[in-house]
Amino acid sequence: MFFSHSISPDLKVGIAATGNFGLALKYNSDWVGRYYVQEATLIGMSVLPSVAYRVNQNLSLGASLNVMYGKLKQQVAINNPGAASFGPTPMASWISTTARGASE
């Protein structure tokens, strides 16, 4: 979206709002790369206020400021093989067995 306005015959102002880039993806939960990414959203937006002044018939000067906003949201899987079972994990069993053996 772009907007410009003449303040006077020699002075102009404007503003632009743009979407620079974007990404959305979603993989199945059994995807081989699930420990790197399962879902991701990436958005980049800019607002550009600008001003221009005509110095004379042959020369105009202008300036603009690019204000950018970006956001990344990512979801990954965690490799935790003992989380689905209701009993102790193998590591927890080893720790409790070792602790019992040390105290006896």
CA separation for the pair 47, 44 (Å, rounded)? 11
Q: Are 23 and 42 in contact (CB under 8 A)?
A: yes
Segment 38-49, tens digit of pLDDT: 888 889 999 999
pLDDT band at 63 (very low <50, low <70, confident <90, very high): very high
Q: Are 1 and 16 in contact (CB under 8 A)?
A: yes
The per-residue pLDDT for 64 is 96
6 has which bridge partners?
Answer: 12
Domain ranges, residue 69: 2-103
Domain count, the chain: 1
CA separation for the pair 15, 4 (Å, rounded)? 6
The per-residue pLDDT for 98 is 44
Segment 8-37, tens digit of pLDDT: 999 999 999 999 889 888 888 887 887 788
67 has which bridge partners?
Answer: 47
The per-residue pLDDT for 5 is 95
